[in-house]
Amino acid sequence: MSKWECIVCGLIYDEKEGWPDDGIAPGTKWEDVPEDWLCPDCGVGKEDFELLEEEVVEDVPHHEEPVADKVHAPVVIIGTGLAGYGVAKEFRKHDSDTPLILITSDDGRSYSKPMLSTGYTKNTTANDLAQLDAGSMAKMLKASVWTMTRVAEIDTANQMIKVGDAQSAIHYGKLVLAVGAEVIQPPIGGDALEKVYSVNDLLDYDDFRSAVEKNGVKKVCIIGGGLIGCEFTNDLLNGGFEVEAVDPLGHCLPTLLPEQAGKAVQAALESKGATFHFGPLVTEVNHAGEGVRVTLNNGETIDADLVVSAVGVRPRVALAQASGIDTNRGVVTNRLLETSAPNVYAMGDCAEVGGHVLVYVAPLMAAARALGKTLAGEPTEVSYPAMPVTIKTPACPVVVAPPAPGAQGEWTVQAQGNDVQAEFRDAAGNLLGFALTGEATKAKLALQKELPAILA
Ligand SMILES: Cc1cc2nc3c(=O)[nH]c(=O)nc-3n(C[C@H](O)[C@H](O)[C@H](O)COP(=O)(O)OP(=O)(O)OC[C@H]3O[C@@H](n4cnc5c(N)ncnc54)[C@H](O)[C@@H]3O)c2cc1C
**Residue nearest ligand 1's atom 18 by CA:** 360
Ligand 1: centre distance to CA 149 (Å): 17
Q: What is the pLDDT of residue 5?
A: 85
316 CB near ligand 1 (under 6 Å): yes
Residue 313 CA to ligand 1 centre (angstroms): 10
Closest ligand 1 atom to Cα of 347? 26
Average pLDDT over all residues of the chain? 92
DSSP character at residue 7:
T
12 SS3 class: strand
With helix as H, strand as E and coil as C, how does 363-389 read?
HHHHHHHHHHHHHCCCCCCCCECCCCE
Band (pLDDT 50/70/90 cuts) for residue 211 is: very high
ipTM of the assembly?
A: 0.99
Choose which residue among 184, 361, 391 to substitute to test ligand 1 binding: the one with the highest number of ligand atoms within 8 A of its C-beta.
Answer: 361
Report the separation in Å between the CA atom of 69 and the middle of ligand 1, taken as the mean of its atom positions. Answer: 33
**Whole-angstrom distance, CA of residue 295 vs CA of residue 35:** 48
Measure the CA–CA gap between 404 and 243, rounded to whole angstroms. Answer: 32
Ligand 1 center from residue 119 Cα (angstroms) = 17
> Which atom of ligand 1 lies at the shortest distance from residue 362's CA?
11
Query: Is the distance from CB of 170 to CB of 242 less than 8 angstroms?
Result: no
Atom from ligand 1 closest to the CA of residue 104: 44
**pLDDT score, position 68:** 44
Distance, in Å, from the CA atom of 274 to the CA atom of 282, rounded to the nearest integer, reads 17
Q: What is the pLDDT of residues 54-69, one digit of tens each?
A: 544 444 444 444 444 4
In the reported structure, the alpha carbon of residue 422 is separated from the centroid of ligand 1 by a whole-number distance in angstroms of 29
* Cα dihedral 160/165/167/173 (nearest 10): -20
> How distant is the alpha carbon of residue 339 from its chain centre?
22
Prediction pTM value? 0.89
Asked if residue 26 has pLDDT above 90, the reply is: no
Tell me the average pLDDT across 190-214. Answer: 96
- H-helix segments, 46-201: 82-94, 126-129, 134-141
**Ligand 1 neighbourhood includes 80 CB (under 6 angstroms):** yes
Give ∠ CA 120-180-87 in degrees, rounded to 5: 100
Lowest mean pLDDT among 160-174, 208-222, 333-347: 160-174
Q: Are 367 and 177 in contact (CB under 8 A)?
A: no
Residues 290, 269: Cα–Cα separation, whole Å: 27
pLDDT band with cut points at 50, 70 and 90 for residue 11: confident
Q: Regarding beta strands 282-288 and 291-296, do their DSSP bridges make them parallel or antiparallel, or are they unpaired?
A: antiparallel
Rounded-to-integer distance, Cα 146 and Cα 106, Å: 9
> Given pLDDT bands bounded at 50, 70 and 90, which one contains residue 44?
low
201 alpha carbon – ligand 1 mean position (Å): 7
Pairing of the two strands 100-103 and 75-78: parallel
Which protein residue has the closest C-alpha to ligand 1 atom 31? 81
Whether 109 lines ligand 1, by a CB cut-off of 6 Å, is no
Determine the Cα–Cα distance for residues 260 and 248; give it in Å rounded to an integer: 17
Assess whether pLDDT exceeds 50 at residue 214. yes
Q: Residue 392: CB within 6 Å of ligand 1?
A: yes
Whole-angstrom distance, CA of residue 343 vs CA of residue 324: 14
